[in-house]
């Protein structure tokens, strides 16, 4: 009986404090409330952004997005000029959250199709998001069985004044893409009732239309595989008529590495293999020319 009387007050204290210290398990890492990291980027059907009352805006009646002195930005390699993506292209994305004097940052990002679905239990992610830096980022599936969000891992946002989060995204084959991104600049007091600054960015990406006639698109198609690769890269090309095919390999800074292909090829489909086991791990570009037509492909070597 005395033991029970001791336990009851302890349980009451834990119940009261639990909203302030809500953690979920993610591969052994403690991550602050998934509610705020995998369902609060302002996408259709969600509860709003992280600035809402009850999240980072708790205790102040909610905050106004982008009202602070900082920012959140999204950049990509290769660049998506005019927010246009190349269907099937692998992009290396960097989320940068910045605010002077801040030592703890976070972010959450959902990349969704253009359906406008408000059913958060349905995964309408557009393309494929891949974790490339497990130390700083992780994948959450919002609401247990719904949308995929990429967010910071436990301790992944500790930095002064600015913090970068990197991950990969493979663009879909077609269709408009809606990016919902929220960046948090926090005071790191672990309390849910202290307001922090929230920054949002919600661009719409559209597939790149080159303006090449349909018959020209069919004239030259190139596929590089496997991605990623370890030692051998295969290149398959479809050629409508005999022409010169040139393939150059470049690093992510645009510096030329070597020529993989430079010869005439007959009409039809050919498959060539190239040894890449002497290259450092990382991302590279292939610049493929077939007569007057040009393609750029991103490859990843692990």
How would you write the pLDDT of the chain (302 residues) with one tens digit per residue?
A: 444 445 444 444 333 333 332 333 333 333 344 333 445 788 888 877 777 766 776 555 557 888 889 999 999 988 898 899 988 888 999 999 999 998 889 899 999 998 888 888 888 889 888 888 888 888 887 655 578 889 888 778 888 999 999 999 988 888 899 999 999 888 776 555 456 888 999 999 998 864 333 334 444 567 888 888 888 998 888 787 888 889 999 887 678 899 999 998 888 887 889 999 999 888 888 888 887 777 788 888 88
pLDDT computed for residue 178 by the predictor: 94
Q: Are 139 and 148 within 8 A, CB to CB?
A: yes
pLDDT computed for residue 189 by the predictor: 66
The full set of domains in the chain, from first to last, is: 23-207 (2.60.40.4060), 214-301 (2.60.40.1930)
Residue 127 Rama label (left phi>0; alpha psi -120 to 50; beta): left
CA distance 195 to 88: 40
CA distance 60 to 62: 5
CA distance 19 to 52: 15
Answering whether pTM is above 0.85, one says: no
- Residue 64 tokens, joined: 């106004």
- Alpha-carbon 54 to chain mean position: 26
Residue-wise burial string across 130-164, b where 16 or more C-beta atoms lie within 10 A, e elsewhere? beeeeebbbbbebbeebbbbbbbbbebbeeeeebb
Give the CA distances from residue 3 to residues 6, 13, 53, 209, in Å, rounded to whole numbers and listed in that order: 5, 16, 39, 72
CA distance 188 to 196: 9
């Amino acid at each position: 009986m005395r033991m029970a009387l001791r336990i009851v007050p302890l349980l009451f204290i834990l119940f009261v404090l639990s909203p302030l210290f809500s953690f979920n398990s993610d591969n052994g890492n403690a991550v602050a409330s998934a509610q705020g990291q995998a369902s609060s980027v302002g996408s259709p059907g969600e509860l709003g952004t992280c600035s809402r009352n009850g999240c980072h805006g708790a205790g102040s009646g909610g905050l106004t997005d982008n009202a602070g002195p900082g920012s959140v930005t999204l950049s990509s390699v290769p660049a998506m000029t005019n927010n246009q993506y190349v269907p099937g292209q692998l992009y290396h994305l960097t989320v940068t959250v910045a605010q002077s004097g801040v030592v703890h940052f976070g972010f959450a990002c959902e990349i969704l199709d253009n359906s406008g679905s408000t059913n958060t239990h349905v995964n309408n992610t557009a393309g494929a998001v891949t974790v490339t830096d497990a130390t700083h980022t992780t994948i959450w599936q919002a609401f247990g069985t719904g949308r995929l969000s990429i967010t910071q891992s436990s301790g992944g946002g500790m930095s002064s004044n600015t913090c970068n989060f990197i991950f990969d995204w493979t663009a879909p084959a077609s269709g408009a893409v809606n990016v919902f991104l929220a960046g948090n600049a926090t005071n790191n007091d672990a309390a849910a009732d202290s307001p922090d600054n929230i920054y949002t960015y919600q661009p719409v990406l559209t597939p790149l239309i080159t303006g090449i006639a349909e018959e020209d698109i069919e004239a030259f198609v190139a596929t590089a595989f496997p991605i990623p690769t370890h030692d051998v890269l295969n290149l398959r090309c479809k050629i409508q008529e005999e022409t010169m095919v040139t393939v150059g390999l470049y690093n992510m800074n645009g510096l030329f590495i070597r020529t993989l292909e430079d010869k005439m090829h007959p009409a039809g489909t050919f498959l060539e293999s190239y040894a890449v086991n002497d290259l450092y791990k990382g991302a590279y570009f292939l610049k493929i020319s077939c007569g007057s037509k040009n393609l750029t492909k991103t490859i990843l070597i692990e």
